[in-house]
């Protein structure tokens, strides 16, 4: 099961709400195509700032490795590790870009695939909210806090007889 975050775009001028067809579902986890073809994946997802930062970082690291005299194998391993990092953080990079563009994160949903996640999200989104339960203290049911407070008061009473291995200080032996 994949975890998706749901993002709502900013409302267009003259509209009070956004069209649910424009919501973005961003899958959390490893993105294979972001690992294999990082720049092309960024272009397809319109992550322009991320692409510029990726190219600048990659060129800087490759130049530094060349100046340090690293072997071709070491340069290749570094390039693969950078691609792996992009594949791991692809969802985060996309969420960051959406947030910078004014999109709001409105929820998280779990599903086997994108279609099921959309179905689950919109089913829960259109339902009226469930009634909130009445707190136990209002119903007259003792709560954990009240039971703990009563126990502590009884335990700290000065005239209580303690039975056990650890009597109170000053108690007769």
Does 164 fall in a domain? no
Tokens 């340090």 map to which residue? 68
Work out the pLDDT band at 93, boundaries 50, 70, 90.
very high
Distance CA 28, CA 131 (A): 31
Structural domain of 78: 2-126
- Whether the per-residue pLDDT at 40 is higher than 60: the answer is yes
Does 87 fall in a domain? yes
Domain count, the chain: 1
Does 131 fall in a domain? no
Taking all residues of the chain, what is their mean pLDDT, rounded to a whole number? 83
Does 165 fall in a domain? no
User: Which ranges of 15-71 does DSSP label H, i.e. alpha helix?
Assistant: 32-36, 38-44, 48-68
Residues 127-150 have a mean pLDDT of: 63
3-class DSSP state for residue 78? helix
Does 151 fall in a domain? no
* pLDDT of res. 158: 56
3-class DSSP state for residue 86? helix
Closest listed residue to residue 6, CA positions, set 86, 84, 119:
119
Work out the pLDDT band at 19, boundaries 50, 70, 90.
confident
Distance CA 102, CA 107 (A): 15
Does 153 fall in a domain? no
Q: Is the distance from CB of 47 to CB of 93 less than 8 angstroms?
A: yes
Q: Which residue has the higher pLDDT, 25 or 151?
A: 25
Work out the pLDDT band at 127, boundaries 50, 70, 90.
confident
* pLDDT of res. 68: 94
Phi and psi at residue 106, to the nearest 5°: -110, 0
Phi and psi at residue 7, to the nearest 5°: -125, 135
Q: Is the pTM of this model over 0.75?
A: no
Q: What percent of the chain lies above the pLDDT cut of 90?
A: 60
Does 139 fall in a domain? no
């Amino acid at each position: 099961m994949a975890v998706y975050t749901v993002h709502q775009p900013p409302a267009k001028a003259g509209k009070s709400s956004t069209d649910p067809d424009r919501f973005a579902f961003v899958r959390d986890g490893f993105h294979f195509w972001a690992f294999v073809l990082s720049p092309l994946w960024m272009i397809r997802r319109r992550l322009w700032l991320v692409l510029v930062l990726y190219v600048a970082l990659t060129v800087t690291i490759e130049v530094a490795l060349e100046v340090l005299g690293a072997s071709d194998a070491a340069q290749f391993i570094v390039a693969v590790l950078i691609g792996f990092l992009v594949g791991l953080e692809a969802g985060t990079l996309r969420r960051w870009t959406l947030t910078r563009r004014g999109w709001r994160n409105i929820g998280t949903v779990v599903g086997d695939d994108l279609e099921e996640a959309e179905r689950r999200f919109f089913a829960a989104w259109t339902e009226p909210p469930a009634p909130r339960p009445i707190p136990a203290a209002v119903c007259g049911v003792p709560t954990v806090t009240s039971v703990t407070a009563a126990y502590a008061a009884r335990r700290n009473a000065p005239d209580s007889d303690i039975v056990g291995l650890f009597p109170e200080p000053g108690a007769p032996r």
